[in-house]
Structure 1
Amino acid sequence: MTVRRLHTITFLDSLGTGSYVAISVVYFVQVRGLSTGGVSLVLGLAAAGAALAGLPLGVVSDWLGARPVLVISHVAIGTLFAFLPQIRGPVGLGVVLVTIAVLQASIGPAKSTLLYSYSNPEQRTREQAIQRSIFNIGFAVGAAVSAVVTALAGDAGSVGLIYLNACSYLGCAVVAIALAPRTREPTATATATTDRGPLAVVRDRPFLLLTGLYGALALSECVIVVGVPMWVVTVGAPQYVIPFCLLLNTAAVIVLQTRFSRAADGTGRSRRFLTLGALAFAAGAASLAAVPPHDPSRAQLMILLATAAFTLCELLASAGAWALVLARVGARDQGAYFGTFGMSFSLQAVAGPLLFGWIVVPHGAIGWLVLGVAAVALLPAIGATVTRLGRARTRPQLA
């Protein structure tokens, strides 16, 4: 029952987030009068704040408890979104949005900690995958709701969707209050690491390397959201291929993530999944490099093939990395470890748009080929990092 409530929180959260993200940029530019440069700056600062807050908020979750952090964060975020339409001036909007992003950085580690505690050890990787699939379902539904509402009600509908997002967060807080306060007893692996201290993660070099490597592979998600649309415009490919790419990615993650995660348990399989993920990333980059500038039919085919490859990378890397993370955390530092690992998502959200907008896309096919070569260059580091993690997972000391 408790795990189902966590899944309910994820669905409500993603439902509101999907409805908000779909209209946020248009709302801030057309309704609030901000420039596109101003919106980019605010979103970049928000992502940077979330990245920096991951570890501290994870430590707070370990100290205060994951359930109180989950309740407080959802109440605070819901309240801020409820007041967002009334805030005037770009500075006030920027402060609120950065604050929301920082608070949102606490939700992932808190939910992961609770899911870790409430799930049987053999089910943890699978439950994390289910969470990811549920998030994608909720996000897709929210985006669809947003499309209908804005088509029918225009700018007024955008404001209503912001209030809907606020209600979704407050609803999450209500469900979080009903979560069982007690967690399972630590497992043998966790017990062996309970003396590490709340900041031991900053000395756990193999885990930090895993976080960085996964952040690099997680750029596959940013490619589909940011890189592919930029490349479509640059090469003059039909723009209707963009939503098809997003639909392909979302549907594949919903259907396949749990199956991939079930097959990723074990150090050897995790290494294989991360290695194949890097190769899939390279294949996707090569496909985008091969997109012809004046051949719409072939361009669509190559872009869809690239999307399939990047989606495969997302599935493989997520399954392999989460299996290693769940085997690494201890009984008293779950929030710190989950918060640190969550920084990989925030960092790619900051670096991705800059990488594709300033470096890769402006250099054309060469830029994509260099990106693919960089992915292949990660292979030795992946092998060494996974080996070190596997060697130390049953020892109390850090590698």
Structure 2
Amino acid sequence: MTGRILPPRGPARTLTGITLVHTMGQGLWMALNAVYATAVLGLSPGQFGLGAGAAAAVALALSTPTGHLADRVGPRAVQIWSFLALGPLTAALLFVDGFGAYVTVMSVQAVAYSASRSARMAMIAGLVPAAERVTLRARLRAAANVSVSVGAGIAGALLAVGTPTAYRGAVVLNALTYFGTGLLTLLLPAVPPQPARPGPALVVLRDRPYLAFVVLDGLLSMHNLLLDVVLPLWVLHHTHAPRWMIAVILLTNTVSVVLLQVRAARGTDDPAGAARASRAGSWCLGAACLVFALTEGAPALLASALLVLGALVHVLGEVRQSAGSWGISFGLAPDDAQGQYQGTYAMGADIGKMAAPALLTWLAVEHGTVGWVVMAAGFAALGSVMPAVVALARRRSKERSAPAMA
């Protein structure tokens, strides 16, 4: 399994180490964020939701500008300072007193987080040859799955202790992972900053085919919330399967991503191949939705078997669609604007995460089988148009570059 995660020595391996440290902290905090806000800070669930929503809105709004900053200043410098800033900003949660202070800290954190995310993707584009970028993203995702699980395990131990002191310890540990990630980034070679060019600064916002890809990909990425949010509610309220099947489904997904993601990235290094992979992944996602629909009212044993089958079909779609998405995002972006293009690309997933819980839960839990069928058709349709959108984007890119070459 180590061979599926660790690339050869060099910048790619250092980026993997950075990912392992960073995502361990993420896995820890994802499990404890709401608990800390409500149990230690005394916020209501509604106040916690408003704070998280404000932070998400800030990250979304600044994703493209911070990506442009990474292009102009250099992604290594932006990544170092954003991670080093996230350390004390996370530790500031130890001293928060009241809802206003919580929203302020979370919003400022979101600025640094947005910058770090755009810079990480620009670092990959700047340090790794084009033919190896998607494979590295696949390795990083496999590594992240392992590390997030470790972080979640630590969170489980702290939840078992269940004291405010234990939860504050989680804040300190999360802050230390950010410091560690920033210091590890010092081991990477610098990526030269891009000089200012005539014309608009945020050129990606005028690249309509790329923006169309971002929207389509963001909608497709809603499938990432199916197993975490929608399926647990479905199992509890619409099937006779035992509750522990929820854990089985999530474990199946985690292990399968680690085992399959790198292999699923084959053939996605160019935009055309990546678009076909995204389409194939979307069809698998649609098929998984149809399998999940069959579990309603089925006997417990049959429902359990169908849930595992659906989870396996889903993960095939997930790893293939993800690899295709990365290949398109890198392949359509100009080399001198990778930061802002990758920042804009991340906005699509952000929008998908914001829309998915309410929309997909409404379809599945409220409308049952019909809702699953609608989801299946939606995912398949979105993926089916991806090759045409990518082909248009490539034609427009060639048209724009032709005058410059003349």
TM-score greater than 0.5 by the shorter chain: yes
Q: Structure 1 residue 74: deviation in Å?
A: 0.8
Equivalent in 208, 211, 216 of residue 208 of structure 1? 211
1:191 paired residue number:
none
Cα distance 1:98–1:242, how it changes in 2: closer, same or farther (>3 A)?
farther
Q: Structure 1 residues 247, 202: closer, same or farther in 2, change over 3 A?
A: same
Q: For 1:1-399, list aligned pairs within 5 A.
A: 1-152=10-161, 154-183=163-192, 198-235=201-238, 237-293=241-297, 295-397=299-401
3-state DSSP of counterpart to 1:378: helix
Instruction: Give the aligned residue type for 2:352.
Output: Q
- Cα deviations by residue, 1:331-367 (Å, 9 ceiling, x for unpaired): 3211110000011221111111121344442222222
| Structure 1: segments with no counterpart, 5+ residues | 186-193
Contact 1:222–1:352 (8 Å) recurs in 2: yes
- In the other structure, the counterpart of 1:188 is none
What are the ranges of 5 or more consecutive residues in structure 2 without an aligned counterpart?
1-9
Deviations 1:378-398 (A, max 9, x none): 245223112213434555449
SS at match of 1:263: coil
Contact 2:92–2:105, Cα closer than 8 Å, also in 1: no
Deviates more, 1:51-60 or 1:11-20: 51-60
> Do the aligned partners of 1:245 and 1:304 also contact (CA within 8 Å) in 2?
yes
RMSD, aligned α-carbons: 2.4
Q: Residue deviations 1:59-109, cap 9 Å, x none?
A: 111122211211121122111111202201122212222332332122222
- Separation in structure 1 between the aligned mates of residue 48 and residue 236 of structure 2, nearest angstrom: 21
* Aligned residue identity for 1:149: L
In the aligned structure 2, how far is the partner of 1:393 from the partner of 1:350? 30
* Residue identity matched to 2:112: L
> Is 2:130–2:269's contact at 8 Å kept on the other side of the alignment?
no
Q: Which moved more, 1:366-375 or 1:161-170?
A: 366-375
The whole-number CA distance in structure 2 between the counterparts of 1:334 and 1:121 is 12
| Number of residue pairs matched by the alignment | 391
CA contact (8 A) 1:221 1:311 kept: no
Displaced runs of 4 or more, over 6 A = none
Question: CA contact under 8 A between 1:281 and 1:309: conserved in structure 2?
Answer: yes
**One-letter amino acid matched to 2:367:** H
2:139/2:261 contact within 8 Å kept: yes
**Identity fraction in percent:** 29
State the secondary structure of the residue aligned to 2:385. Answer: helix
